[in-house]
């Protein structure tokens, strides 16, 4: 979210629709206000108040773990310090041109004092560490809670399939059971026994599947390579964006000057990050669960 446009317009309507169809998604969401270095203290307070107001107004069921799911950060400042600490800042002139943002944000007083060691120490700055916390919390969640939640949902779906099967087959069982013919009655008993055994086998298979996945320490649900895949694809998509188009979009309407507060929404539309993450998660699930299910 932009700090100047917290849960507004199409964004809040989209989330509201998701909340109506599947509130669990909203409950598990991570909420990030980026560009936290741009607004002043009053504007920051207004942004947080707006968030709380919208959450209450639209009945978003955010759980008690909210403190570990809500972040205010500056991805740009983190990236500047990280690149300086790793001595890769010279590889990108465009990124280097934004170094003065560190002084504007009050992270450092003089850029001449910024070297590798200083950058490393500043990565623990209160205004910077929130990005690291967000990144760590997100990927830890993907590898632990998300894994357990997926297994629970998969188990629920399989058991629902068993219930549906029970509903479909029971009339046939009743049909045989109501017969006065001895042979038909014996058939009914045999069919009923096979049916019950089949259901028990299915249930046991679901239980065994869940146990096997939970106790499998040899594989990781989300690995560093998955993170790198997402980051790499994001970089590719960003590099293909027409800068002139972005500038025109940021300058259209009543804005005399470029309104950078609209940039995150425009980039999100061009990059389709949500779709990108979903595709990667599906790929991870395919490679992780299908071999076990087979």
Q: Are residues 62 and 84 in the same domain?
A: no
What pLDDT shows up at residue 225? Answer: 82
Among 189, 214, 239, the domain boundary falls at 214
Tell me how many domains the chain contains: 3
* Shared-domain flag, residues 41 and 24: yes
All residues at 6 or more sequence positions from 120 whose CB lies less than 8 Å from its CB, including other chains: 85
pLDDT at 163: 79
Least confident of 87-91, 125-129, 175-179: 175-179
Whether pLDDT at 79 is above 60: yes
The reported pTM is 0.51
Is there a single domain that holds both residue 110 and residue 57? no
Shared domain check, 67 and 88: no
Q: Final residue of a domain: which of 33, 48, 72? A: 72
End-to-end Cα separation, the chain, in angstroms: 41
40 falls within a domain = yes
| Per-residue confidence (pLDDT) for residue 104, from 0 to 100 | 86
| Stretch among 40-44, 93-97, 219-223, 245-249 having the lowest mean pLDDT | 219-223
- pLDDT tens digit sequence for 100-117: 888 888 888 888 888 888
Is 237 a member of any domain? no
Quick: pLDDT tens for 230-245: 888 888 888 888 888 8
Is position 131 within any domain?
no
292 within some domain: no
| 128 assigned to some structural domain | no
pLDDT tens digits, one per residue of 146-203:
777 777 777 787 788 777 877 777 766 565 555 556 666 666 677 778 878 887 887 7
Same domain? For 55 and 85 the reply is no
Query: Residue 263 domain-assigned?
Result: no
- Tell whether 284 is covered by a domain: no
pLDDT (tens digit per residue) in 252-263: 655 445 566 677
What pLDDT is attached to residue 28? 82
Among 91, 106, 122, the domain-final residue is 122
- 54 and 98 assigned to the same domain: no
Separation between Cα atoms, residue 99 and residue 231, nearest integer Å: 22
Q: What are the structure tokens assigned to 40, written together? A: 């002043």
Answer whether residue 144 is part of any domain: no
pLDDT tens string 11-44: 888 888 888 888 888 888 888 888 888 888 899 8
The mean pLDDT value of the chain amounts to 79
- Do both 6 and 66 map to the same domain? yes
Domain holding 199, by residue range, is 161-214
């Amino acid at each position: 979210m932009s700090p100047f446009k917290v849960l507004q317009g199409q964004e809040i309507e989209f989330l509201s629709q998701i909340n109506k169809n599947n509130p669990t998604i909203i409950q598990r969401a991570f909420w990030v206000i980026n560009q936290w270095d741009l607004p002043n203290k009053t504007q920051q307070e207004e942004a947080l108040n707006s968030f709380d107001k919208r959450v209450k107004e639209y009945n978003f069921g955010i759980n008690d773990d909210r403190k570990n799911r809500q972040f205010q950060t500056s991805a740009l400042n983190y990236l500047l310090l990280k690149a300086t600490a790793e001595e890769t800042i010279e590889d990108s002139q465009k990124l280097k041109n934004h170094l003065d943002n560190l002084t504007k944000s009050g992270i450092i007083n003089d850029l001449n004092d910024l070297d590798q060691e200083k950058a490393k120490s500043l990565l623990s700055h209160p205004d910077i560490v929130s990005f690291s916390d967000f990144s760590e919390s997100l990927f830890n969640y993907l590898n632990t809670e998300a894994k357990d939640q997926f297994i629970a949902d998969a188990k629920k779906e399989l058991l629902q399939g068993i219930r549906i099967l029970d509903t479909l087959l029971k009339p046939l069982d009743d049909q045989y059971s109501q017969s006065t013919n001895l042979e038909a009655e014996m058939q009914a008993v045999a069919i009923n026994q096979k049916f019950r055994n089949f259901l028990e086998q299915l249930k046991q298979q679901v239980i065994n599947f869940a146990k096997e996945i939970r106790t499998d320490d040899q594989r990781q649900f989300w690995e560093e390579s998955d993170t790198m895949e997402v980051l790499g694809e994001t970089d590719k998509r960003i590099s293909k964006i027409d800068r002139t188009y972005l500038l025109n979009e940021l300058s259209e309407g009543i804005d005399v000057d470029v309104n950078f507060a609209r940039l995150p929404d425009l980039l999100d539309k061009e990059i389709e990050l949500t779709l990108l993450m979903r595709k990667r998660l599906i790929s991870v699930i395919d490679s992780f669960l299908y071999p076990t299910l087979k």
